Amino acid sequence: MALTDIAVRNAKSRDKLYRLFDERGMYLEVSTTGGKWWRLKYRFGGKEKRLSLGVYPDVSLKDARDHRDDPRKLLAKGIDPSIERKVQKAATVERAANSFEAVAREWYARQAPGWAPSHAEKIMGRLEKDVFPWLGGRAIAEIKAPEVLTVLRRVEARGALDTAHRVHQNCGQVFRYAVATGRAERDVSADLRGALPPARHTHFPSVTEPAEVAGLLRALDGFQGTFVVQCALRLAPLLFVRPGELRTAQWTQFDLDKAQWRYTVSKTKTEHLVPLATQTVVILRDLHALTGQRKYVFPGRDVKKPMSGAAINAALRRMGFDTKEEITGHGFRAMARTILHEHLRFPSEVIEHQLAHRVPDALGTAYNRTKFIDDRIAMMQQWADYLDKLKAGANTNPV
């Protein structure tokens, strides 16, 4: 007789495993501990075989019967349900290993060690936010160009056109890696060239007129926030390094007696030397009394970590500056580059080396941390003196 829900529910454990049979080869197997498993008994190629249909009560009597019918249909076609299940399981495992997300994370793991941490974080953040939710589980070889375009349009629709272009670029890198590793035939993202409107790249806002710089410097000196952030604000125009390099500066990189700061440039992975003006050393010595026992020169709320990447711009906004139109933490670099060349008349190659830009020379050297070092030492001191004069209201005409 066919089983009933009541009979299945009331089946108790016994001293030995036993079975309650249903129709068409299905039965319930009850263990000595009370566990209940649905099984299907069938014959294939003259051999008796069994197939699991699930565990009760997760799989009800009705669901178990539904699960039974599919294998029986395969038997009618001359297919062994056990073999078919193994094939499907293997296909599922292979599909998961070759999904867009799996390939993307593998590509990322290989590339990220050569990137700056902030750059690596941005790339994975874009993939996790804008791509994985929609394409992550798809087999990368099956993804078509229109599907990628839908993802890009979704990013564009929220007003992040530049991000959409970057997502397009990252998807292309993943697809090309999949091609190289034999998991895709081609980079379908290449078909989307021109599908997005061109992004308008804008420079970081900056203050480059000496009279305006004077007001900015006085505002920085008058900042009412924490001493750590105030020091970072005062040092930003004096050092004009990248904001991420300033906020992650470590005390072990500084030799205040020699007035030097040595660190590895985040973009070029090259060593860089920053000569420190006397004004800079004074600020750093004051700050050393507070944070000198810490790893970072500018520790954050968690003193084991550096100051937040948003701290400088947040402080500028608190002082009333528009970080979209007037000045940002990165804008101090443009300010120094412009005034050092146009007003203090320093050669552009000296300035570019101090900015840690790649400046190929006649010998093909892309970057040399000590190139023009004497000129750079003089420039950094003259720059600090010039900023002091601006704050004091001195004549701002070109030297």
Residues serving a catalytic function are: 242, 267, 330, 333, 357, 367
Phi and psi of 44, rounded to 5°? -145, 125
**Rounded CA Rg of the chain:** 33
Residue spans of beta strands (DSSP E) within 256-375: 260-264, 271-275
- Closest to 242 in 3D by CA, of 357, 342, 348: 357
Residue that the structure tokens 């349900």 belong to: 81
Here the tokens at position 243 are 């904001």
Determine the angle formed by the axes of helices 227-239 and 278-291, rounding to 10 degrees. 150
Task: With beta carbons less than 8 A apart as the criterion, state whether 336 and 318 touch.
Answer: no
Q: How many CB atoms lie within 10 A of CB 139?
A: 18
Comparing CA positions, the residue from 128, 329, 318 lying closest to residue 223 is 318
Other C-beta atoms closer than 10 Å to the C-beta of 205 total 16
255: enclosing H helix or E strand = strand 254-255
- Look at the block and give the residue holding tokens 């867009």: 100
Rounded CA-CA distance 118/126 in Å is 12
CA distance 256 to 237: 18
369, two tokens: 């941390």
DSSP-assigned letters across all residues of 160-188:
-HHHHHHHHHHHHHHHHHHHHTTS-SS-G
